[in-house]
Chain A
Amino acid sequence: MSDRRRITGPESALPLVFAPTPNNQSTTKSPQEKTNSGIRNFFIKTGIVSNCNGSCFLEVDNTTIIVSVYGAKPIRGSSVTSASFSVMTKVSNNLEELSNFTSSDLSHSKEEKEEQKLAKEDEYVTTNQIGKTQLSLVEQKLSTYIQTAFLPSILLEKYPKSSIEVFINILTNDSHTNSSLLSLITWCANCTSLALVDSGIELKDMVSTGIAKLTDDQTVVIDPSYSNEGRKTVGGQEVRAVASYMSVTDTVVGLMIESEEGVNGEMIEKVIDGCNTMAREIRSNMNGFLVSTM
């Protein structure tokens, strides 16, 4: 059945299919040759959306995120003793290529050269259907992570019979460096943290999130951008992780680890340490920002 609430255009329309960009052009200049240490510069601004209770805008490289918090607002009918907390993510529908990379992170590896032709087929970019109603895989993953990570930090029992809703809008995503899902989660989480503070909802602590990567040679890179995460090293034993902290109590509230091959305890420890370093740095940044806006 066609969508009767949206103007969908002619049904017989076909999506645009773009041929892959010739290699010499696509990899001309990567945006920033980032050194292996340090966090990319990021820009934050709170209170950007006026008709919600709290909001935050974050920009890092070419990724832009707006998080708006609605609540605590009353919910009709049910009388629960603590607030319900939910997270909705919306990736701008032109950025659908995001959904590819979770799987392509894995698939683009060994056979790449042998089956170049097939891979070429996969790389054809098509426009997606406009006006989708269901959450994509990426949106689901993002929502779930952020909901899980922030649930312990909010004093939900202070808001009975109400709901707190977080809306994450990913306006642009770095399609060049192809920053990974994990990196996107990191920045969304940090943005959410500031939006929650902006909303004035009572929190136990601010959640700060870091991302790190353990390379083949067992060195830890924090805030890896895809350009140095590079496809060249794919296939080796690489471990990537995102971890969220509440610094005051020094507890981990969210953790996500990704690796092509198995991981052992030692590796996890190392990579989490990396996340922690970044989260601390982010936290001090956010603290500084909040003090400056007071």
Chain B
Amino acid sequence: MELDAKIGVLNNAGGSSEVSLNGIKVVCGINGPMEARPRQELPTTCYLEVIIRPAIGNPTVREKYMEDKIKNFLNSVIIGNLYPRQVIQVNLQILEKKNNNSSYTSDSDESAATEDVLLELNCCINSAFLALVDANISIYKAFNSNIFTYTHKGSLVKDGLSEAKSRHLVVYGIKNNKVDELLYGENVGRFSEKKLFMALERGEKESMILHSKLKELSVESVKQKFVYLS
């Protein structure tokens, strides 16, 4: 499904973006760099706080788990030593979920929640990138996330289909218009080593395509912000 994104949707945040992808819509707001509470303060680098709020209800353990996944690699992307003793807060609010309206039976509810983790992460990561750019936070490299599935017939599709043999979420870092390194990969289901690497390779290609699209968007937003450039 096509990515649909907007930058600078929130007026009061340092940077923000709204991304909808695979039936999920996320709004991301960045606060900071700002003063840290004594407990969070790190002497040489910034403290990164990722907060995810679900589409319905209050955040639970599931959101904590997703926050951790994002924080893991985001820490290495942001140039932390430019912001010592400060906090950068990444707020992600999931606005819409694919199966929002369909009435779940209690049974499938849970498996759907687990299944949607990858889709939500995918959307959140892309949204976080755009918002970081919008917030003028220094980063070492650009990044974006793609999700692939192997269907039961064995073909690799760029989609987050739920009925699949295996699902692969791939996040690549991009530096100087070249794929730099694998930042995060989550692969679940049943798959072989060969399929894993095929998915990763496909991820490299797709991430360049997605990158050019995201870049276009961010260039546009910079132009709008700094009128004198044009």
Contact = CB atoms under 8 A, between A and B. Distances in A.
Are A and B bound to each other? yes
Interface of A: 4-7, 10, 12
A269 to B, nearest CB: 55
Interface stretch (B8-16, B56-64, B124-132, B213-221): B56-64
A109 B58 CA distance: 49
A205 to B, nearest CB: 40
B61 A5 contact: yes
Contact of B61 (A7, A10, A12): A7
A6 B61 contact: yes
A10 B59 contact: no
A10 B60 contact: no
Contact of B59 (A4, A7, A12): A4
B176 interface: no
B58 A10 contact: no
12 contacts: A4-B58, A4-B59, A4-B60, A4-B61, A5-B61, A5-B64, A6-B61, A7-B60, A7-B61, A10-B106, A10-B110, A12-B106
Contacts of B110: 10
Contacts of B59: 4
Contacts of A10: 106, 110
A62 B67 CA distance: 42
Contacts of B61: 4-7
B179 to A, nearest CB: 36
Contacts of B60: 4, 7
Contacts of A12: 106
B66 to A, nearest CB: 14
A4 B58 CA distance: 8
Contacts of A5: 61, 64
Nearest to B58: A4
Nearest to B64: A5
Nearest to A1: B58
Contacts of A4: 58-61
Given A4-B58, A6-B61, 4 more contacts: A4-B61, A7-B60, A10-B106, A10-B110
Closest CB pairs A-B (n = 5): A4-B60, A7-B61, A4-B58, A10-B106, A5-B61
Contacts of B64: 5
Interface in B72-122: 106, 110
Nearest to B110: A10
A7 to B, nearest CB: 5
Nearest to B60: A4
A4 B59 CA distance: 7
A219 to B, nearest CB: 56
Nearest to A5: B61
Contacts of A6: 61
B52 to A, nearest CB: 13
Nearest to A6: B61
For A4, A5, A6, A7, which residue has the most chain B Cβ atoms within 10 angstroms? A4
A4 B61 CA distance: 6
B88 to A, nearest CB: 24
A12 B106 CA distance: 10
A7 B60 CA distance: 8
Nearest to B59: A4
A74 to B, nearest CB: 16
Contacts of A7: 60-61
Nearest to A7: B61
A209 B46 CA distance: 52
A8 to B, nearest CB: 9
Nearest to A12: B106
A12 B60 CA distance: 18
A182 B215 CA distance: 71
A156 B59 CA distance: 43
A52 to B, nearest CB: 23
A10 B106 CA distance: 8
B58 to A, nearest CB: 6
A36 B60 CA distance: 54
A285 B64 CA distance: 49
Nearest to A9: B110
A189 B213 CA distance: 67
Interface string B42-63: 0000000000000000111100
A98 B206 CA distance: 59
A65 B180 CA distance: 52
